[in-house]
Amino acid sequence: MFYHVSKEDEYLFQGKRRRLVEQLRLKGILDEAVLKAIEKIPRHLFFDQSTARPAMLEHAYSDKALPIGAGQTISHPFTVAFQTEKLEIKSGEKVLEIGSGCGYQTAVLVEMGAKVFTIERQKSLYDKTKLFLPYLGYKSVRFFYGDGYKGLPQHAPFDKIIVTAGAPYLPNDLLVQLRTGGIMVIPIGEGEQQEMYILKKTSDTTFERQVLGKFKFVPLLQNKA
């Protein structure tokens, strides 16, 4: 079952999205394509649907991480915007997403014109999201259930790779699947916080690296559930 909202509620949510976008601008997000995508996508529909509706109305467009089921969370809107901006998405690019989750980040990538291949390790989230995103109109996404550390070698190379959970180390299989000139954004580290890394592949064996501060993610898990 998916939520249906009244026109009155939808106007309310549209206003909340506009205010969220202004908050993200104040926090340093400058890419108008990213902000436009976030303003369009109904974030209030992506939460765990067992969550009480009043809580959704109160927090859906706050800059908070909230539960989506299976012990996972939807990332802070700033985190989604930050990672997406650092990917420098261009329309038509082939993007590998590690950690589909509820599909919110996936939807942002699609709104920006990316051709998205997304992997989810949690079977319950995979089953839900592969139905939910087409329900919202995002029908071009390719969904895969499996181990994100391994990526999708059969569909490589990718122009961009985004990892949406904290990895204890940099997975070599993902580096191999990034085309020369491509960008990967990945949080690396163990514990409650990780460092956000941006890697630009300059040749088959060399990369430029930047570390851009601490973020908090759920762990990136290995192997199928």
Q: Which of 158, 155, 211, 197 is nearest to 181 (CA)?
A: 158
Q: Which of 149, 147, 214 is nearest to 187 (CA)?
A: 214
Are the CB atoms for 89 and 33 separated by under 8 Å?
yes
**Exactly one of 6, 50, 75, 124 is catalytic; which is it?**
75
Side chain identity, residue 124 = S
Radius of gyration of the chain (CA): 17
**Hey, is 63 helix, strand or coil?**
coil
**Per-residue b/e over 126-162, b at no fewer than 16 CB within 10 Å?**
bebbbebbeeeebeebebbbebbbebbeeebbbbbbb
- Judged on CB neighbours under 10 Å (0-12, 13-18, 19+), 109 is buried
Are the CB atoms for 97 and 118 separated by under 8 Å?
yes
* Angle separating helix axes 77-87 and 104-111, nearest 10 degrees: 40
75 is catalytic: yes
- What residues are annotated to the active site? 75
